[in-house]
A and B are shown apart, each in its own frame.
Chain A
């Protein structure tokens, strides 16, 4: 039998050219600027859209083929996991709380990204950029769906996931991811690309999807690691889109450089603040640990991001403003965030806990300059109080930063014992910020951020109660009324992990599983 010879009709480069060029046309009965109204008003100058090239040269035919293959593999794992009662094989039910944060705060961002890319995919005049944005739009919708499908299995067994869409628009800390994407999709199309494709996808998503997902594998959660890596395999294409869009913008016209630099400064900082949640997931919510947030930051932000900015220096682009502060924060933010959620756990639909002595030992080793000095004593005090039956829950509300919407939990550069606080006056009102960079972002576009829907302000203004609630009634408990508006199951979704239904159920199911009884 003759050896089969594979013969391609077109090479990769020719195929890419054939499938991404000549798809557009010059309009005749309406001016082009009226049909594409958005790709000029930000001041970005494009002289030759044809210079835009997707380095992966992925075309629609190959896209469907490989995405179809990924889906088959992913659903094979998700189904095997479900049929096998895989949820009983994870290290500890505390781990599930990371998945609650994922479905509450990360999955809805995939949907926002889908909407954002669908929008810019329509608005760019150049066909290459439009094709790349459309594929990314489909990817992001796929991520929203696959994450929802994978996590819905856990929703059958654990609390804290049943109202994730409802919570995304209401619960205080979920305004942090929500405001990030709403800020991005209400920018112009080029700002959106610099925000999401470049600053978020290229500089920051490795920190979310790589070490945390490797941690999920380490904790026995094959379902999550598979959706995570399946999503991240698209991210590597999104990163090439990010780096291509930056190179393209910088090479098209020198006048684009200062505009792009300003966006990089803004979106690096906004993305960095958003990742505070991930820092905490990695250091506190993985019972078996792969690497600390600090190590992940050094690997993916300092080394990889550093290489990127060294490469972009030839265009006159420098490291983002806030880079130094972000690098200093690697010793602190996970601990500061966990403390805040521990405090406000009455109003958060997932569980928190004081780490075990063994876990604190690990944190001491990973954070020799900060953990024992600043954070261990507070956690030990919390543990002492909890064991004495005085588990502390903060019942007042925190002050939020108007820009990133995170409570004022971050400390001053060079002094981790001092909370950082800045303010600005605008049209007779005072606005509050967690850092110089969040203040700078506000001061640059105050008319945008004065419209922020800040959950704490809304609660105090009485806008977060169900219709018909009477705050003047005797015995009125504002916290309970807000939790009712959130549709949280009080006593099941919230409070300490110790004594929770999740903890009891998991222990019971595991015991039954060990005895070989059917549930």
Chain B
């Protein structure tokens, strides 16, 4: 199965998002490089609004990930509660 990935700028706003991804996707691999954090996962990766809100204790609009997003790979399925990246083939 091919990997999907997503990368964020390495900063305070990204931290809860990365923590939430690691919590919700047990097979995700988090790699730190200068200035950025890249997360790889086989086939599929989901970002859940609820998990981010549990970590920060504040409401979170998933579209705010655009501010610190660096790059990604895979097909996107997004609604108000989750963003999923996947390769189905």
Residue numbers of A with Cβ under 8 A of B are 6, 8, 11-13, 55-58, 62, 66, 69-70, 73, 206, 209-211, 213-218, 225, 229, 232-233, 235-237, 239-240, 243, 290, 303-304, 306-308, 310-311, 313-314
Contacts and interface: CB of A to CB of B under 8 A. Distances in A.
B71 A306 contact: no
A217 B2 contact: no
B79 A11 contact: yes
Contacts of B34: 214-215, 217-218, 225, 290
A233 B75 contact: no
Interface of A is mostly: helix
A229 B9 contact: yes
B46 to A, nearest CB: 14
Contacts of A13: 79
B78 A56 contact: yes
A314 B87 CA distance: 12
A312 to B, nearest CB: 8
Nearest to A69: B67
A335 B62 CA distance: 43
Which among B68, B71, B77, B79 has the greatest number of chain A C-beta atoms within 10 A? B71
Nearest to A237: B66
Given A73-B67, A214-B35, A308-B73, 6 more contacts: A58-B63, A66-B64, A217-B34, A235-B71, A239-B71, A290-B33
A70 B36 CA distance: 16
The 5 closest A-B pairs by CB, nearest first: A307-B2, A217-B35, A55-B76, A218-B34, A217-B34
A216 B78 CA distance: 32
Contacts, number: 102
A232 B5 contact: no
Given A240-B76, A306-B2, A311-B89, A210 B69 contact: no
A70 B79 CA distance: 22
Contacts of A69: 67
Contacts of B5: 304
A236 B59 contact: no
Contacts of B80: 8, 11-12
A310 B67 contact: no
B68 A233 contact: yes
Interface in B3-23: 3-5, 7, 9
Contacts of A66: 63-64, 66-67
Contact of A55 (B9, B71, B73, B75): B75
B70 interface: yes
Given A58-B63, A69-B67, A225 B72 contact: no
Contacts of B75: 55, 243, 311
A232 B71 contact: yes
Contact of A311 (B7, B36, B88): B88
Contact of A232 (B4, B64, B70): B70
B71 to A, nearest CB: 5
B70 A311 contact: no
B15 to A, nearest CB: 15
B71 A206 contact: yes
B59 to A, nearest CB: 5
Given A6-B59, A229-B35, A311-B89, A210 B76 contact: no
Contacts of A214: 33-36
A208 to B, nearest CB: 11
Contacts of B71: 206, 209-210, 232, 235-236, 239
A314 B70 contact: no
A314 B79 CA distance: 26
